[in-house]
């Protein structure tokens, strides 16, 4: 089993692949392997740190239109003519490069490493413009590609029209012989379907019979010239299209090498963006790299465990401590803790963010692991043999700069021999100063760890009340396997587990009992400490929420007060502007204002403003300057009654409650002079006695007619003529329907010959 697979790095890479935009980015992720070269590790982590910040700040990079077009580009470089669709893909890539360059230039956070990478992209604007001018989105060559192609297609259109006319003449001349009036093409030539018995009666060529055999397809001699002309133009069109495609392909060939280089850069950027997106989705951070022998993970979460169920833990190894022994119950999280340390190291060496609040990872020359069961019937390897083989390779290659992960070291054989072998292996690695993370159930290994200051003992917690693991990692404490408690939970008879406990206790020394009691108390204290921290955190969060809410309420009060003042001023300004506009509209009546619009404008002057109010407990006196709380219109108190107050605002008395007003420091404006608006409805200006709707669509004509009818009523015009023409009759019908619905129309009739006949309607208005 490979290291990436045993630590499940391959699963992480597969998840990241799903965020890639195109196949070359996916391939780069698929081929990603940890690097142990410090320069490469540093470069990759610098890039991912900037990319993660960019994704969080501005979203992922845009890769729309980017795909693997290496084959087309290489063909163009070799001189092959590309199809219209292939040319479109080249254009899409150029547009994609433009999008990446725009993203880079718009990014307003520091990103020098990404900028250096993006700056290697070359933008070929001329090629993009040429392809866009010649090829439509469907890969077809457009008329605009060349004047010659445009001319050929115009001629081709005329040739096809000539064919249609020739066919129609033939059909009208031989109606009894023609079976179908539709033009059909056989071998690129227009043919006509006639009765089979008459197929030789017209000269020309026969192109076969119908499926029933009752009709035949013929090309009469009258179609020869038209068909020949059409075929010549089709050939010319094909030649011109081929020439255009060849020229465009040659243009692509000139930039092909640079576009291939662009594609490589885009693949790198796509893979980088996918890693950053994965990191943002998983609330991950980029690890800090250090030359020291220090490994620190704060609130680390395994990225493949359900976020709702995962338990976050802190891990810390630093000189002079270089070995971590994790103990505890089965399924309690020992292996998960060990895997997190190894997985986060490999992810960092691949330039992938890690799922923790903070991470410090040292440089290792290699990571070695003995995890999982590789027993094989074919290779005659037992679990123990497989483990020993991997440990042998580790002992052979590991150095003081390596990281070694060993799961259940020494297991799979006689416990005493396994313990002894495990201690000997760990001793060898300690002497080399190799950083080691190992899990174990062996009691002698726990004792061994306590005797050496360069070994950190840790355990995963077990809840004895619920008889289940909590998956919490605790440093400085050796955990019990709790095998008997787990066995009892899963149904093993109590008599068996009690006897097993008796045998275990017999083998224990007084020191073992004291250590167990101490560890139990430490465990309980740790649980109480964690619960206290959680309560303190919840209380602090609640206090923070209350303070924030109080601050928000005060802010909202100020905002509402300011907003009310602004809205009041805005209402006054709008009212002034509206009044001016209404007066101006009325003055323009002679220029064609509709009568009903004048009435509407007049109503606006009489429309009162409605305002909402808020509560207030102030006292008021006659003569006080006050303003409405909602709208802040300034007025003066003229009368105070038991339940309400009379306020004079803009010359108008208003009865309000005390809660609806407040004292004002503003100067009460002088009472504005009344504006007298006079509307004269007599005859003003000239109006023609006819309304010409010729050439208009029905909707446009009805709008024009409405305006004319308004003018006619305003100018007291009694008789006039509406010119609508004959046409299909739709406009005449719409005019008559409009006149039926219009008040003031006495009658209407179709015009006399001298009045325009059926193309005009004469209208008589009421007196």
521 lies in some domain: no
Residue 756 and residue 646 share a domain: no
Which residue in this structure is represented by tokens 């022998």? 293
Burial of 352 (0-12, 13-18, 19+ CB in 10 A): buried
Q: Is 36 helix (H, G, I), strand (E, B) or coil?
A: coil
pLDDT tens for each residue of 683-729: 434 678 899 988 888 888 898 898 888 888 888 888 999 998 887 78
Mark the ranges of the chain whose per-residue pLDDT is less than 70.
Answer: 1, 329-332, 373-382, 462-470, 476-491, 497, 500-524, 526, 576, 579-580, 582-618, 630-632, 665-686
Asked whether residue 396 falls in the same domain as residue 306, the answer is: yes
Give the number of other Cβ atoms within 10 Å of residue 506's Cβ: 7
Asked if 323 and 182 sit in the same domain, the reply is no
Helices (H) and strands (E) in the chain, counts: 20, 23
- The token pair that represents 569 in the structure block: 């001023």
Q: What SS3 class is residue 325?
A: strand
Q: Are residues 372 and 251 in the same domain?
A: no
Give the pLDDT score at 323: 95
The answer to whether position 211 is within a domain reads yes
What confidence score (pLDDT) does residue 759 get?
86
CATH number at residue 734: 3.30.1370.110
Domain identity same for 348 and 424: yes
CA 76 to chain CA mean position, Å: 35
Q: How far apart are the first and last CA of the chain?
A: 104
Pairing of the two strands 690-692 and 719-723 = parallel
In this structure, the answer to whether residues 372 and 489 fall within a common structural domain is yes
Kindly tell me the burial class for residue 238, based on how many C-beta atoms sit within 10 Å of its own C-beta (0-12, 13-18, 19 or more): exposed
Residues 334 and 360 in one domain: yes
pLDDT of residue 270: 97
Does some domain include residue 396? yes
Residues 359 and 459 in one domain: yes
For the chain, the domain total comes to: 5
| Separation CA 437–CA 97 (nearest Å) | 46
Chain centroid to CA 210: 56
Helix (H) or strand (E) holding 258: helix 224-281
Which of 603, 665, 606 lies closest to 632, judged by CA? 665
Separation CA 443–CA 416 (nearest Å): 10
Sorted by sequence, the CB contacts under 8 Å of residue 766 that are 6+ apart come out as 744, 745, 746
| Position 426 in a domain | yes
pLDDT of residue 466: 54
Choose the final residue of a domain: 624, 655, 680.
Answer: 680
Q: What is the DSSP letter of 642?
A: S
Q: Domain limits at 182?
A: 149-229
Question: Which strand ranges, in their side-by-side order, compose the sheet holding 215-219?
Answer: 178-186, 189-195, 215-219, 205-209
* Among candidate residues 500, 530, 557, the one where a domain is terminated: 500
Residue ranges of alpha helices (H) inside 20-124 are 23-30, 38-58, 70-78, 84-106, 112-118
Q: Is residue 307 located within the same domain as residue 340?
A: yes
- 429 shares its domain with 305: yes
Kindly state whether residues 268 and 341 are assigned to the same domain: no
CATH of the domain at 114: 1.10.1420.10
Domain end marker among 629, 661, 680? 680
H or E segment to which residue 216 belongs: strand 215-219
For the CA atoms of 543, 544, 549, 554, the dihedral, rounded to the nearest 10 degrees, stands at 100
Question: Do 648 and 742 lie in a common domain?
Answer: no
User: How would DSSP label each residue in 182-214?
Assistant: EEEEETTEEEEEEEGGGTTSS-SEEEEE-TTSS
| Six token digits for residue 110 | 């520091």
Evaluate whether residue 259 is within a structural domain. yes
Q: What is the pLDDT of residue 295?
A: 96
What local confidence, expressed as pLDDT, does residue 462 receive?
Answer: 62
Does residue 549 form part of some domain? no
* Token output for 29: 């992720």
- Which has the closest alpha carbon to 226: 164, 276, 299, 177? 164
Buried b (16+ CB within 10 A) or exposed e, 308-335: eebbbbebebbeeebbbbbbbbeebbbb
Q: Is 522 among the domain residues?
A: no
Decide if 91 contacts 128 (C-beta within 8 A).
Answer: yes
Please provide residue 440's backbone torsions phi and psi, each rounded to the nearest 5 degrees: -160, 155
User: Does residue 490 sit within a domain?
Assistant: yes
* Sheet arrangement for strand 690-692: 690-692, 719-723, 760-765, 745-750
CATH number at residue 676: 2.30.30.30
């Amino acid at each position: 089993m490979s290291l990436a697979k045993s630590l499940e790095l391959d699963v992480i890479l597969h998840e990241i692949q799903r965020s890639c935009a195109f196949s070359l980015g996916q391939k780069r992720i698929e081929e990603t392997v940890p690097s142990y070269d410090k320069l490469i590790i540093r470069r990759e982590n610098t890039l991912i740190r900037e990319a993660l910040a960019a994704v969080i700040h501005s979203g992922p990079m845009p890769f729309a239109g980017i795909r693997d077009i290496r084959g087309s580009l290489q063909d163009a470089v070799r001189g092959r003519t590309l199809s219209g669709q292939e040319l479109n893909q080249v254009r899409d890539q150029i547009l994609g490069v433009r999008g990446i360059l725009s993203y880079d230039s718009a990014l307003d956070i520091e990103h020098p490493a990404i900028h250096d990478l993006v700056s290697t992209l070359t933008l070929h604007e001329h090629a993009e413009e040429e392809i866009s001018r010649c090829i439509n989105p469907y890969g077809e060559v457009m008329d605009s590609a060349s004047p010659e192609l445009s001319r050929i297609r115009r001629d081709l259109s005329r040739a096809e029209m000539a064919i249609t006319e020739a066919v129609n003449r033939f059909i009208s001349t031989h109606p009894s012989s023609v079976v179908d009036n539709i033009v059909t093409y056989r071998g690129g030539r227009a043919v006509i379907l006639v009765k089979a018995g008459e197929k030789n009666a017209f000269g020309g060529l026969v192109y076969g019979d119908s499926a029933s055999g009752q009709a035949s397809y013929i090309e009469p001699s009258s179609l020869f010239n038209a068909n020949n002309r059409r075929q010549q133009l089709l050939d010319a069109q094909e030649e011109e299209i081929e020439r255009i495609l060849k020229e465009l392909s040659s243009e692509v060939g000139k930039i092909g090498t640079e576009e291939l280089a662009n594609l490589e850069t885009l693949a790198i950027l796509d893979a980088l963006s996918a890693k950053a997106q994965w990191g943002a989705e998983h609330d991950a951070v980029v690890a800090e790299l250090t030359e020291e022998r220090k490994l620190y993970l704060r609130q680390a979460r395994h990225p493949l465990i359900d976020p709702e169920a995962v338990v976050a833990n802190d891990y810390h190894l630093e000189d002079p401590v270089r070995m971590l022994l994790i103990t505890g119950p089965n399924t309690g999280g020992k292996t998960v803790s060990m895997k997190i340390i190894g997985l986060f190291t490999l992810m960092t060496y691949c330039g992938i963010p890690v799922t923790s609040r903070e991470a410090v990872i040292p440089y290792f020359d290699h990571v070695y692991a003995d995890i999982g069961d590789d027993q094989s019937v074919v290779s005659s390897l037992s679990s123990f043999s497989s483990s020993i083989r991997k440990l042998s390779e580790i002992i052979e290659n590991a150095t003081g700069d390596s990281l070694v992960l060993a799961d259940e070291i020494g297991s799979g054989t006689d416990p005493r021999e396994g313990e002894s072998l495990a201690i000997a292996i760990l001793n060898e690695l300690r002497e080399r100063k190799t950083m080691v993370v190992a899990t174990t159930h062996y009691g002698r290994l726990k004792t061994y760890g306590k005797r050496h200051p360069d070994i950190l003992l840790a355990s995963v917690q077990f809840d004895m009340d619920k008889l289940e693991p909590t998956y919490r990692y605790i440093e400085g404490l050796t955990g019990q396997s709790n095998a008997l408690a787990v066995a009892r939970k899963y149904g093993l008879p109590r008599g068996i587990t009690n006897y097993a406990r008796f045998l275990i206790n017999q083998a224990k020394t007084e020191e073992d009992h004291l250590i167990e009691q101490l560890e139990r108390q430490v465990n309980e204290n740790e649980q109480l400490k964690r619960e206290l921290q959680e309560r303190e955190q919840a209380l602090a969060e609640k206090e923070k929420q209350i303070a924030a809410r109080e601050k928000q309420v005060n802010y909202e009060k100020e905002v509402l007060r300011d907003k009310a003042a602004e809205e009041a001023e805005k209402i006054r300004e709008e009212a002034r502007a509206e009044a001016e506009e209404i007066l101006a509209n009325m003055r323009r009546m002679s220029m064609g204002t509709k009568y009903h619009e004048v009435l509407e404008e007049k109503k606006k002057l009489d429309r009162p403003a409605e305002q909402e109010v808020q509560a207030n407990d102030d006292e008021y006196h006659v003569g006080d300057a006050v303003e409405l709380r909602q709208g802040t219109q300034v007025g003066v108190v003229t009368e105070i009654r038991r339940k309400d107050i009379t306020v004079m605002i803009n010359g108008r008395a208003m009865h309000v409650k005390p809660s609806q007003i407040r004292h004002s420091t503003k100067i009460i404006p002088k009472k504005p002079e009344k504006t007298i608006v006079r509307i004269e409805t007599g005859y003003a200006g000239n109006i023609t006695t006819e309304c010409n709707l010729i050439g208009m669509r029905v909707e446009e004509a009805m709008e024009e007619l409405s305006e004319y009818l308004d003018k006619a009523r305003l100018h007291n015009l009694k008789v006039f003529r509406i010119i609508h023409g004959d046409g299909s009759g739709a406009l005449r019908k719409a005019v008559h329907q409009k006149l039926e619905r219009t008040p003031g129309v006495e009658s209407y009739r179709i015009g006399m010959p001298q009045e325009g006949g059926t193309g005009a309607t004469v209208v008589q208005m009421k007196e």
